[in-house]
Structure 1
Amino acid sequence: MSYKNYPMVSRVVFGRGSFNQLNEILAPKRLSSKAPFIFLVDDVFKGKSWLTSRIPLSYDDKLHYISAEEEPKTSQVDELVEQIILTHKERPSGIIGIGGGTILDLAKAVSIMLTNDGEAKDYQGWDLVKNPAIYHVGIPTISGTGAEVSRTTVLTGPEKKLGINSDYTPFDQVILDPELTKNVPKEQWFYTGMDCYIHCIESLNGTYLNAFSQTYGEKAYELCLDLFLNNNLPKEVAQDKLMMASWHGGMSIAYSQVGVAHAMSYGLSYLLGTKHGIGNCIVFDHLEEFYPEGVKIFKQMKDKHNIQLPQGLCADLGDREFDIMIDVALSLEPLWENAIGKNWQKTITREKLKELYLKM
């Protein structure tokens, strides 16, 4: 039996205000005054000097504001890489992503594509990346996706929605500063937090489960219950805990996999552009037969926070559109194998998936 030798994030700083240490963390990594640091920053922070004034720009460093309105695309990665290559004489010293899962995934993908030939879509899959990425740093400003710790960068390509899953994907450095999550809107906080909760349910109920995944998954699950069902947590304590739930939830996937909700949510996202967190919630709401206990608790959390999920997303879709979503969902074989087992194809038929999508 051969065990997978997984890379971890090799350095991590945790603490309120730790974002202020960014300059001292980056300075030793600068290759030369002509090799810039490229900052990819969620455009919600445009004009928010409490964050942007603390980004340590010098020499030829460049800050790109990026909208997280849409899920990251392979074409967007290629455009950013081309822009960086055409603008700067030397390969960058590093890529720093500051934002939620969309921005962190873009930062990971750009750092890979600066050292690997071809287009980002050529690397969607498992272990296709040949050359190590350039130095890259992740700084989450919202908690839940686990993008700060995972070995994938999920991208929508011309043919599929699939991550660049590789040993070169994880960040070299992560800064976990819970203070950066202070202005997250309530709905966004809930959907992204539920991404973490759903990670835990899918990992803990999967056939790939082992003690490594279980210990991280159980901790993240326990934190999620506390965060989303307990009224009495002070705001700062809740921010700190959700950041750690996200980290542990991401780690629980390292040695296991996600499951039904993620596979089907990728289909929604590919066809309809549904954002990942809310997409997971819309799907998970209808998965009682796969995760009875998890869905029951999810509905309690939803009621507690007065969250109304969009209804009828698939009501007006034609057969061709259902086929596209079903193709995307079925292509994620490891997720189905984790959720159902090796013989998943016997129960997960196209008809079964269409019947589920019709409920959404």
Structure 2
Amino acid sequence: MKHRNFKTVPRMIFGRGSFDQLDDVLMEERQNADDYVVFLVDEVHKDKPLKDRIPNQSHDLVIWLDVTDEPKTTYVDALTEQVQAFGNGKDPVSVVGIGGGSSMDIAKAVALLLTNPGGAVKYQGWDLIQNPAIHHIGIPTISGTGAEASRTTVLTGPDKKLGMNSDYTVFDQIIMDPDLVAGVPKDQWFYTGMDCYIHNVEALNGTYINEFARAFGEKSSDLCDEVFLKDHPEADEKLMMASYMGGQSIAYSQVGACHALSYGLAYVLGYHHGIGNCIVFNVLDDFYPEGVKIFRQMMEKHNINLPTGICQDLSDEQMDKMIQVASGLAPLWDNVYGPNWKEKVTPELLRSLYLKM
């Protein structure tokens, strides 16, 4: 048996106020007077105090990201071209992604595409990236996606939603500053946090589970419990660590049915990843009965009302596309059912689950 040799983030800083060390980290990369850094920042911070704390120099490039929609391959291609035009043949010494999962995924993708030509669609899949990325840094301002820890950057392409999964995708540095998550709207805080909770449920109940993944997944689940059921006073710190550990858990195992179905939902109906996962997870009693039961307790405690009936009026073409996207995620279904998953994951099963949403 061949064991996976997977890469983790080599350098990380954790703690309140640690964002202020970003300048020190970047100074290690800046070796020459014309070395420049690209900051890709969620535009939600454009009118917030964080804007004035970004350590950009006069010759750096700051791009405010529109993450209204899930990241698209066309968007990251355009951003990559913008960076290349700005650099006029010179690559940046670092790409810094500041924001939620979408912003960090965009930063990973741009760092990869600066050194791997041909556009993002070419690299949607597993281990298709040929060349190491530009040095890249992830700084979450909302917790839950695990994007700061993962080897994927999830993108919506012309015919599928699928990540660029590669060891080269992993950040070179992350900075986890719990102060940065202050002021996140309640619903968004919940939906993004549930992405982490669901990562753990899927990993711990999957066929890929092992003691490495279990150790991270169980601790991350305990932290989610303290945050979403017990209102722990250090909830921001705990959720930030739960997110990182949830990302580590799935890095050496895999997600499952919820993520597969939510990719279809996002592709056809445009639901963001966090809320999409919640809508899907709420109908997966047959897959994860205990996890779904606790999830509903968390929803009730925080007065969260999910949209319902969202697939009732879909055309046959839309439903077929959702089924195609969801059933195309082989490793996820393998983690649910094992190698014979194709016998179980039928169009009828997927259609019946979507109609419950």
Specify every segment of 5 or more residues in structure 2 that has no aligned partner in the other structure, as ranges: none
Question: Residue 280 in 1 paired to residue 283 in 2?
Answer: no
* SS of aligned partner of 1:129: coil
Q: Distance in 2 between matches of 1:339 and 1:324?
A: 21
Q: Distance in 2 between matches of 1:59 and 1:306?
A: 46
Correspondence 1:75-90 to 2 at 5 A: 75-89=74-88, 90=90
Deviation per CA, 1:103-144, whole angstroms, max 9, x where unpaired? 000000000000001010100000000000000000000000
Cα displacement (A) at 1:345? 1.4
Q: Distance in 2 between matches of 1:21 and 1:318?
A: 51
Aligned counterpart, 1:164: 164
Cα displacement (A) at 1:31? 4.2
Contact between 1:33 and 1:59, CA under 8 Å: does it hold in 2?
no
Aligned counterpart, 2:121: 121
* SS of aligned partner of 1:168: helix
Deviation per CA, 1:30-60, whole angstroms, max 9, x where unpaired? 1433231000001111121x21111111141
* SS of aligned partner of 2:167: coil
Aligned counterpart, 2:33: 33
Question: Residue 302 in 1 paired to residue 299 in 2?
Answer: yes
Question: Residue 259 in 1 paired to residue 252 in 2?
Answer: no
Contact between 1:36 and 1:93, CA under 8 Å: does it hold in 2?
yes
Q: Distance in 2 between matches of 1:59 and 1:7?
A: 34
What is the TM-score with the length of structure 1 in the denominator?
A: 0.98
Q: 30-39 or 103-112: which moved more?
A: 30-39
Q: Distance in 1 between matches of 2:245 and 2:53?
A: 28
Correspondence 1:129-168 to 2 at 5 A: 129-168=129-168
Amino acid paired to 1:61 = D
What is the TM-score with the length of structure 2 in the denominator?
A: 0.99
Amino acid paired to 1:328 = V
Cα displacement (A) at 1:341? 1.3
Amino acid paired to 1:156 = T
Specify every segment of 5 or more residues in structure 1 that has no aligned partner in the other structure, as ranges: none
Contact between 1:71 and 1:273, CA under 8 Å: does it hold in 2?
yes
Amino acid paired to 1:81 = T
Deviation per CA, 1:257-306, whole angstroms, max 9, x where unpaired? 00000000000000111000000000000000000000011011111111
Aligned counterpart, 2:178: 178
Q: 33-42 or 259-268: which moved more?
A: 33-42
Aligned counterpart, 1:70: 69
Question: Residue 111 in 1 paired to residue 108 in 2?
Answer: no
Cα displacement (A) at 1:168? 0.1
Deviation per CA, 1:200-225, whole angstroms, max 9, x where unpaired? 00000000000010000000011111
Contact between 1:34 and 1:59, CA under 8 Å: does it hold in 2?
no
Aligned counterpart, 1:55: 54
Question: Residue 224 in 1 paired to residue 224 in 2?
Answer: yes
Amino acid paired to 1:66 = L
Deviation per CA, 1:137-159, whole angstroms, max 9, x where unpaired? 00000000000000000000011
Moved over 6 A (4+): none
Cα separation, partners in 2 of 1:118 and 1:31, compared to 1, 3 Å: farther
Contact between 1:221 and 1:245, CA under 8 Å: does it hold in 2?
yes
* SS of aligned partner of 2:97: strand
Q: State the Cα RMSD in Å.
A: 0.8
Deviation per CA, 1:233-280, whole angstroms, max 9, x where unpaired? 22xx10000000000000000110000000000000001110000000
Deviation per CA, 1:312-358, whole angstroms, max 9, x where unpaired? 11111011111100000011000000011111111210011001101
* SS of aligned partner of 1:110: helix
Aligned counterpart, 1:101: 101
Number of residue equivalences: 356
* SS of aligned partner of 2:242: helix
